[in-house]
Amino acid sequence: MKNPSADKKATRRARLKKKRRLPPGVPNPVDIHVGARLRLRRTLLGQSQEKLGAAVGLTFQQVQKYERGANRMGASRLFQFCEILGVPITYFFDEMPSGLKTAEAQVVKGLSDQGQAVPDTDPLARRETLELVRAYYKIADPRVRKRLFALVKSLGRSV
């Protein structure tokens, strides 16, 4: 004999569980954050997607998908990236917004971002900034670097 109360509880549990998941095709905000950190570190090191992909046996398209958060990264793959990029695993979760610590918050954020372009608001994460910093530190003479730094600061104030 079936227990109607147990059926109701099972249905309610299934409905609650279903609500805590993102629909197919919507990337989890944590995956997007981890991918952005992957891209940041790769770019800081001056590595191409092709070179990074070759080091772990992937195509550059697969690396692109990880960087966009479209593909979820497994623990073994994350470990490989840590070894190649010279960072601890915690690097990928540094600066993660505290609002993404629960499954419900991830769903809410993922659904609110669905269909919206994510603006690149952090100037430190832009390719232009990273290339500028790399070029700056390639200047061997510290006096020249110091003069260039002063020039750039004065130009920034005049705008």
Cβ neighbours, 10 Å, residue 63: 26
CA 121/CA 56 separation, integer angstroms: 30
Tokens of 121: 């608001």
Cβ neighbours, 10 Å, residue 15: 9
State yes or no: pLDDT of 120 exceeds 90: no
> Going from the N-terminus, what domains does the chain have, and what CATH number goes with each?
1-113 (1.10.260.40), 123-159 (no CATH)
Per-residue pLDDT, 119: 44
Per-residue pLDDT, 65: 93
Query: Cβ(49)–Cβ(42) under 8 Å?
Result: yes
Strand (E) or helix (H) holding 145: helix 142-158
| Tens-place pLDDT, residues 4-62 | 666 766 665 555 455 566 667 777 788 888 999 999 899 888 899 999 999 999 999 99
* 142 to 26, 131, 136, 148: CA distances (angstroms): 48, 19, 10, 10
| Tens-place pLDDT, residues 67-104 | 988 899 999 999 999 999 999 999 998 887 776 665 55
Map tokens 């070894």 to a residue.
Answer: 83
State yes or no: pLDDT of 157 exceeds 80: yes
User: DSSP per residue over 57-94, as a string?
Assistant: T--HHHHHHHHHTSSPPPHHHHHHHHHHHT--GGGGGT
Tokens of 56: 């772990």
pTM of the model: 0.60
Please tell me the total number of residues recorded for the chain in this structure. 159
State yes or no: pLDDT of 115 exceeds 60: no
User: DSSP per residue over 92-120, as a string?
Assistant: GGTT--GGGSSHHHHHHHHHHHTTS----
Per-residue pLDDT, 30: 84
